Amino acid sequence: MTTARILDFINTRRPEGPCLVVDLDVVRDNFHAFRHALPDSAIYYAVKANPEPAILNLLASLGSSFDCASVAEIQMALDAGATADRISFGNTIKKERDIARAFALGVGLYAVDSHEEVEKIARAAPGAKVFCRVLTDGEGAEWPLSRKFGCVPQMAVDVLVYAHQLGLESYGVSFHVGSQMTKVDAWDSALADAKRVFASLAKQGIVLQMVNMGGGFPTKYLRDIPKAEEYGQAISNSLRKHFGNNLPKTIIEPGRGMVGNAGVIKAEVVLISRKSDNDNHRWVFLDIGKFGGLAETMDEAIRYPIRTERDGDEMEPCVLAGPTCDSADVMYEKNMYPLPLSLSIGDEVLIEGTGAYTTTYSAVAFNGFDPLKAYVI
Amino acid sequence: MTTARILDFINTRRPEGPCLVVDLDVVRDNFHAFRHALPDSAIYYAVKANPEPAILNLLASLGSSFDCASVAEIQMALDAGATADRISFGNTIKKERDIARAFALGVGLYAVDSHEEVEKIARAAPGAKVFCRVLTDGEGAEWPLSRKFGCVPQMAVDVLVYAHQLGLESYGVSFHVGSQMTKVDAWDSALADAKRVFASLAKQGIVLQMVNMGGGFPTKYLRDIPKAEEYGQAISNSLRKHFGNNLPKTIIEPGRGMVGNAGVIKAEVVLISRKSDNDNHRWVFLDIGKFGGLAETMDEAIRYPIRTERDGDEMEPCVLAGPTCDSADVMYEKNMYPLPLSLSIGDEVLIEGTGAYTTTYSAVAFNGFDPLKAYVI
């Protein structure tokens, strides 16, 4: 997954310290793969996955829309050339003054999952379109969603009726099957729920138009994943199964699936040691860890592929840890990581599949270390 | 724990957005309490707990020394007026070129826990003092240390002999009982280990001089904690018990204990909602969460006191979550947090005991949110 362009950049530019390098050609390919797999769905890139301006510029030029979590992300999408009608304020947790700011910037599409949020939007963005997020179970996702976002489908009906009563345009339903979802049929039961919400509202004279099918599309880490076409086919089949010929408008919000495999982190081995003479495994310490951008190793959830220059050599499982004085800064310990026995202090390693959810998670200055640098090429 | 000065600052300055306010008077009181409790120990403030320049300036003026995790922290301590002989490079995981930089800045005291690290220091900081960190079990700590730092005592002996052979000054032993340690006798078994290392090396003609007793001193969150004097008494007793009249020099490295209770985070309630009509608890969303500075709520480890203006009212347990579109950004869910039933969207809340390990853990820009601001008064 380390492209020739990335390798060339690292080898010729020799950037100092840990850094992420993102290859825009891969982002472009991913965008086309999503468009090809789901030609009838609008693509709203989840800006939070990686908001580097060069990525947003490319996607805006390709015709992408943008799913934004905050006013700052909305501003970034506008700066990249997206018009406000291609922006969704997709966070269900918004300050009323931020809704007003987004509305002033022209944004007209908002996520909700509660009566309380509907009230804020009715006051701060009168007449705007809203979609209500429905809870899904997230089973099969490697970075599972909690119950934090969404409400049960019956409550979604009430929330959308309430929005209609307050003068908003009750526009649709959203769900999220869970990030890094590797089961292609995970969208089916959520689409069945969505259809039931559509039907309940239709009985009350409210015609919903849109299903936001969220993100969840995986990127390749260590294990193989289904291709975009397989997801597209499964989702299209489920849409027809539940909505028949009366298909709603659909939106997808890829983040990890759009940029995850486009980025590689270059890091350095700072120390390799054992805890006792008869310790049967080594501790390998890198110059990046859980607080420097690899937050998704929390609970050893995401397992990144790691390449070294010694990969042909004999391997042995190691504990892999970061460089800070924080004992929680250990990435893989319960499930140790096999690395070459010949790996040495000072060696460079490439952590693949790190284009999403790394730079922005990075701590400002924990232990005095700079936040993760990014180069987009 | 919210001092009158902090309350006054928040009420008159009305800072926008979540922010940390630190009262230097409390830091000064904490410094004096440590000095009083352990008059014979040198205080090395753990800069990583909170590196705000005003805090470092105050502590430098009071005569504190500094425990630094990186070259950047060393530079900050020097900028605050500390001389290099009052600085310890306390991270056991250092790049050789960072050791060289520290040595060039005059730093002469380094932590190690492996032969490999000793070799780097011998090359990059010839003749420097080293102390070897010994593994402790961390039992009783609320933010327990893993096995990430330190080696078994027998290996520490070998490491210090090796340092001596490579021309370094084998200076002492360090340990860390675990952060937020609430058992006053936790230092005893570690001091027994330290004494054994001293004795083993003495047999080989190497006279160690210093025991670095680390940090671990707790700050008051929800539960009462023993006072500094109680820790001081217990530690003094253990020192006499194990070292008799031949007491070593000692160092302590308070971080949380120095600044934790000096800071309060002002935050705002963004949303209060339920997931269904018959949901038996509310979800309360703040404008700060796990990625905005409250990283130590990970696994619900640290439980901060939260004050609202409605604290006299009837209380009910809530799920408490942050404002990002990340489902992992939930602070208290397994062990829900009691908050007033009358709490409302837009209310201000004060999160106490947040002077340590908050601002620097904060993500650079996750979801487009600014990192946590800090005001030191």
- For residue A58, the model assigns a pLDDT of 98
Comparing A152-161, B98-107, B139-148, B244-253, the range with the smallest average pLDDT is: B139-148
The answer on pLDDT for B262 being more than 80 is yes
- Residue ranges covered by each domain of chain A: 24-259, 261-376
- Give A-chain residues touching B45 at CB under 8 angstroms: none
- Give B-chain residues touching A268 at CB under 8 angstroms: 95
The whole-angstrom separation of Cα A281 and Cα A276 is 10
Q: Which residue of B has its CA nearest to A278?
A: B155
Average pLDDT for chain B: 94
Mutate which: A145, A327, A347, A361, vs B, most B CBs within 10 A: A327
Q: Residue A335: CB partners within 8 Å, gap ≥ 6?
A: A300, A303
Alpha carbon of B330: minimum distance to chain A alpha carbons (Å):
8
The answer on pLDDT for B140 being more than 70 is no
Considering the domain A24-259, what is its CATH architecture? Alpha-Beta Barrel (3.20)
Closest CA to A187 of A162, A169, A212: A212
Alpha carbon of B192: minimum distance to chain A alpha carbons (Å):
19
CATH superfamily of B261-376: Lyase, Ornithine Decarboxylase; Chain A, domain 1 (2.40.37.10)
Q: B152 and chain A: CB distance < 8 Å anywhere?
A: yes
Alpha carbon of A201: minimum distance to chain B alpha carbons (Å):
17
Residue A248 DSSP one-character state = P
- For residue B139, the model assigns a pLDDT of 59
Q: Which of residues 251-270 of A touch B (CB under 8 A)?
A: 268, 270
Q: Residue A136: CB partners within 8 Å, gap ≥ 6?
A: A145, A150, A175, A176, A177, A178, A189, A190, A193
- For residue A139, the model assigns a pLDDT of 59
Give the fold, CATH level 3, of B24-258: TIM Barrel (3.20.20)
Q: Which residue of A has its CA nearest to B323?
A: A93
Q: Which residue of B has its CA nearest to A359?
A: B364
Q: B316 and chain A: CB distance < 8 Å anywhere?
A: no
The four Cα atoms A212, A216, A219, A221 give a dihedral, to 10 degrees, of 180
- For residue B222, the model assigns a pLDDT of 74
Verify whether the Cβ–Cβ distance A360 to B345 is below 8 Å.
Answer: no
Q: Which residue of B has its CA nearest to A151?
A: B275
Q: Which residue of A has its CA nearest to B296?
A: A328
- Give B-chain residues touching A179 at CB under 8 angstroms: 327
The question of whether A19 is a catalytic residue gets the answer no
Q: Which of residues 79-108 of B touch A (CB under 8 A)?
A: 90-96
Q: What phi, psi does B73 have (nearest 5°)?
A: -70, -35
Q: Which of residues 159-188 of A touch B (CB under 8 A)?
A: 179
- For residue A185, the model assigns a pLDDT of 82
The answer on pLDDT for B319 being more than 90 is yes
Q: B48 and chain A: CB distance < 8 Å anywhere?
A: yes
Per-residue pLDDT averaged across B128-156, rounded? 82
Residues lower than pLDDT 50 in chain A? none
| C-alpha distances out from residue A278 to A79, A273, A275, A337, B151, Å | 57, 12, 8, 19, 11
How many Cβ pairs within 8 Å bridge chains A and B? 208
Comparing A199-203, A206-210, B189-193, B363-367, the range with the smallest average pLDDT is: B363-367
The answer on pLDDT for B190 being more than 70 is yes
What is the per-residue pLDDT across A77-130, written as a single tens digit (0 to 9) for each? 999 999 999 999 999 999 999 999 999 999 999 999 999 999 999 999 999 999
Verify whether the Cβ–Cβ distance B90 to A147 is below 8 Å.
Answer: no
Tell me if B250 sits within 8 A of B211, measured CB to CB: yes
Q: What is the ipTM of this complex?
A: 0.92
* Option in A151, A327, A365 nearest B145 (CB): A327
Verify whether the Cβ–Cβ distance A146 to B362 is below 8 Å.
Answer: no
What is the per-residue pLDDT across B38-49, written as a single tens digit (0 to 9) for each? 999 999 999 999
Burial class of B335 by CB neighbour count within 10 A (0 to 12, 13 to 18, 19+): exposed
- For residue A7, the model assigns a pLDDT of 97
Burial class of A366 by CB neighbour count within 10 A (0 to 12, 13 to 18, 19+): buried
Q: Which residues pair with B131 in a beta bridge?
A: B111, B172
Instruction: List the catalytic residues of B.
Output: 325
- Give A-chain residues touching B371 at CB under 8 angstroms: 364
- For residue A143, the model assigns a pLDDT of 55
